[in-house]
Amino acid sequence: MLKFYHAPWSRASGVLWLLEELGADYELVHIDIRAEGGVPEEYRKIQPNKKVPAIEHDGTVITERAAITTYLADAFPDAGLAPPIGDPMRGPYLTTLVYCDAVFDPCIAGRAHGLSYQSNDYSFGLFDDMVAYVERRLIEHDFAAGGRFTAADIQLASGIGYTMDQLKKLPEKPAFRAYLDRAKDRPAYRRAQARDYELAKTVPAWEGKV
């Protein structure tokens, strides 16, 4: 049994896309992170900060997107979304997964909140360095780990798409736009988007906005 703890139009949306790519059977558990009064305290037993995403697979709880993505892509190898150990793409693949959580997201959050700091002040480094690295990577390679789509692209494309097109904090770059066109031209992406849209219509916080 695979349970997926999710809120529409959140950082969990990339995991929803991943599950659609994997073709896995899963139970979606809606966690209304925008509910008046907040998420029930009981959920802290699943996710210590009451955030999404989280999954529960055969009684084991996994949190954090990089860990969830690594776990699921390895657990469902027939989908071919995880380069195996020994594959030259395995290193870049894992690097991208962790980079999205450990560098990309904190840099975006710092920029969104006007955080001013020096490179050595925080482990995630400078926003401009992050942008330059991601742009260079996507100029040199069609996808995050090299020449083919992997589960790492689900998280990277989700992050770029939201922060560039909705949040408007990541600068528009031709390499980013071309990459999104490549990564999102997939039936599983469209299925995940449609499911997120339908779920968002049930959320009071999105009433009148969907």
The backbone torsions φ and ψ at residue 51, rounded to the nearest 5 degrees and listed phi first, read -105, 170
CATH code of the domain containing 28: 3.40.30.10
Give yes or no: residues 193 and 142 share one domain: no
Do residues 96 and 145 make contact, with C-beta atoms less than 8 angstroms apart? yes
pLDDT at residue 27, rounded to an integer: 98
Give yes or no: residues 182 and 193 share one domain: no
Give yes or no: residues 180 and 130 share one domain: yes
Give yes or no: residues 120 and 153 share one domain: yes
CATH code of the domain containing 109: 1.20.1050.10
Can you give the residue range of the structural domain that contains 132? 90-186
**168 in a structural domain:** yes
* Cα(94)–Cα(103) distance, integer angstroms: 13
Give yes or no: residues 32 and 103 share one domain: no
- Within 8 A by CB and 6+ apart from 189, the residues are 17, 20, 183
Sign of CA dihedral 142, 135, 181, 150: positive
Give yes or no: residues 95 and 73 share one domain: no
Give yes or no: residues 35 and 108 share one domain: no
Give yes or no: residues 181 and 95 share one domain: yes
The backbone torsions φ and ψ at residue 11, rounded to the nearest 5 degrees and listed phi first, read -65, -15
pLDDT at residue 8, rounded to an integer: 96
More confident residue, 48 or 208: 48
What does pTM read for this prediction? 0.96
* Cα(72)–Cα(8) distance, integer angstroms: 20
Strands (E) in 72-170, as ranges, are none
The yes-or-no verdict on residue 208 having pLDDT over 80 is no
* Cα(81)–Cα(189) distance, integer angstroms: 14
